[in-house]
């Protein structure tokens, strides 16, 4: 039924797979930032930090579990933990941390640069107090991968920090005993992974994992906003986030993968690289009359999760229309879309939504 409109990931060159991973990482940073700024603009900085912490405490544990399940790499010991952190979805789009080891029982991980705070600096915004968010991230990440490891924040905004880094985190094992003069430790880069050295199969797993994490990030922000401010506010912010995010995502596809296809067929093939589609089971494509294509989604992970949790479907049709239009307009403004149905519309069993692409 798909007639060449869905891609064979294993047939792609490894360099292109790596670029796709980096693209998703950049998209995750943008999506997180759009939610944060939207909540901050309406409800204030404290409210945004509160929801940010709610989201990351949960996402960190989810990401750690997915890393264990999907990647056959060595994550043992303190440097193994650092290696696992490299597969946090957002890390590859930000300046990488540096690591210093103090023997086998203590490791210091610190960020000489912070893309988030530097971006706020460039916009004239105050640094936000991310220390509690960071504590939630690292403690939940470590709890899943190696609960014997202890995590301590050395400094993180709003703490004062030295000029050489924004934040620093200490990881220790039970055998660690503090010493009076620990020295500066040894800078270590053995935890870093050259993505292109990984098998193509592993890279494809990372793509799917990152995309799913990215969509989990969006869903957790939505659930946090819904819990704190109600469904109407959550939907309003969701709509605004995706209105801004969809064209950014399309531009990144052109930038990272030099995607230049146009027309109805080209736009539908571009959906393979769109965050929602990459995180879902494959969409289905049916050729209609006069070059029109019908795209259907047999599965919808967030809607299925809500039904399973007993909270019911949510109204995603307007968000879907807005995001598809923003995505498609960048790639080819002559291509139009029409929604046949999407929640809360009635939909047949085995198909959550259907979209028509035409010129």
Residue-wise pLDDT for 280-330, tens only, equals: 878 999 998 778 999 999 988 888 888 888 888 888 899 999 999 999 999
**Cis peptide, bond prior to residue 158, ω within 30 of zero:** yes
First vs last C-alpha separation in the chain = 21
- The Cα–Cα gap between 302 and 314 comes to 9
Q: What is the model's pTM?
A: 0.91
- The Cα–Cα gap between 300 and 161 comes to 44
CB 165 within 8 A of CB 100: no
As annotated, the residues of the chain forming the CATH 3.30.1380 domain(s) are 200-358
Q: CATH number of 200-358: 3.40.50, 1.10.10, 3.30.1380, 3.30.559?
A: 3.30.1380
The full length of the chain comes to 359
CB 121 within 8 A of CB 128: no
Q: Band of the pLDDT at 273, cuts 50, 70, 90?
A: very high
Residue-wise pLDDT for 230-271, tens only, equals: 999 999 999 999 999 999 999 999 999 999 999 999 999 999
Write the DSSP assignment of 245-306 as a string of letters: HHHHHHHHHHHHH-----HHHHHHHHGGGSHHHHHSSPPEEEE-GGG-EEEEES--HHHHHH
CB 339 within 8 A of CB 321: yes
- Residue 49 CB neighbour total at 10 angstroms: 19
- Two structure tokens written together for 184: 């500066």
- Nearest Cα residue to 241 out of 20, 22, 23, 48: 48
- Two structure tokens written together for 55: 């989201």
Beta strands in 10-102 (DSSP E): 98-101
Residue-wise pLDDT for 167-207, tens only, equals: 999 999 998 888 767 777 899 999 999 999 999 999 999 99
């Amino acid at each position: 039924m798909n007639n060449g409109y869905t891609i064979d990931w294993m047939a792609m060159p490894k360099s292109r797979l790596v670029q796709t991973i980096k693209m998703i990482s950049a998209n995750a940073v943008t999506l997180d930032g759009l939610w944060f700024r939207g909540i901050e603009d309406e409800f204030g900085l404290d409210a945004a930090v509160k929801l940010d912490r709610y989201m990351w405490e949960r996402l960190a544990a989810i990401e750690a579990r997915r890393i264990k399940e999907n990647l056959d790499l060595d994550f043992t010991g303190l440097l193994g933990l650092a290696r696992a952190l490299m597969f946090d979805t957002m890390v590859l789009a930000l300046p990488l941390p540096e690591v210093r080891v103090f023997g086998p029982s203590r490791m210091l991980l610190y960020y000489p640069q912070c893309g988030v705070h530097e971006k706020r600096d460039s916009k004239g915004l105050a640094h936000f107090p991310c220390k509690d968010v960071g504590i939630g991230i690292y403690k939940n990440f470590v709890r899943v991968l190696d609960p014997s490891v202890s995590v301590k924040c050395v400094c993180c905004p709003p703490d004062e920090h030295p000029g050489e880094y924004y934040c620093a985190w200490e990881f220790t094992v039970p055998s660690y005993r503090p010493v009076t003069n620990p020295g500066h430790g040894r800078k270590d880069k053995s935890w870093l992974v050259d993505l292109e050295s990984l098998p193509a199969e592993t890279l494809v797993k990372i793509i799917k994992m990152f995309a799913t994490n990215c969509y989990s990030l969006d869903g957790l922000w939505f659930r946090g906003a819904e819990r704190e401010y109600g469904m109407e506010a959550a939907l309003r912010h969701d709509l605004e986030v995706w209105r801004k995010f969809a064209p950014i995502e399309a531009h990144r596809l052109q930038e990272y993968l030099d995607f230049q296809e146009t027309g109805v067929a080209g736009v539908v093939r571009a959906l393979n690289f769109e965050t929602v589609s990459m995180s879902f089971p494959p969409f289905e494509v049916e050729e209609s009359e006069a070059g029109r294509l019908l795209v259907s989604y047999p599965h919808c992970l967030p809607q299925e999760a809500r039904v399973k949790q007993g909270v019911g479907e949510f109204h995603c049709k307007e968000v879907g229309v807005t995001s598809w239009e923003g995505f498609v307009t960048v790639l080819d403004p002559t291509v139009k879309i029409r929604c046949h149905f999407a929640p809360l519309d009635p939909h047949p069993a085995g198909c959550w939504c259907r979209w028509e692409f035409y010129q």
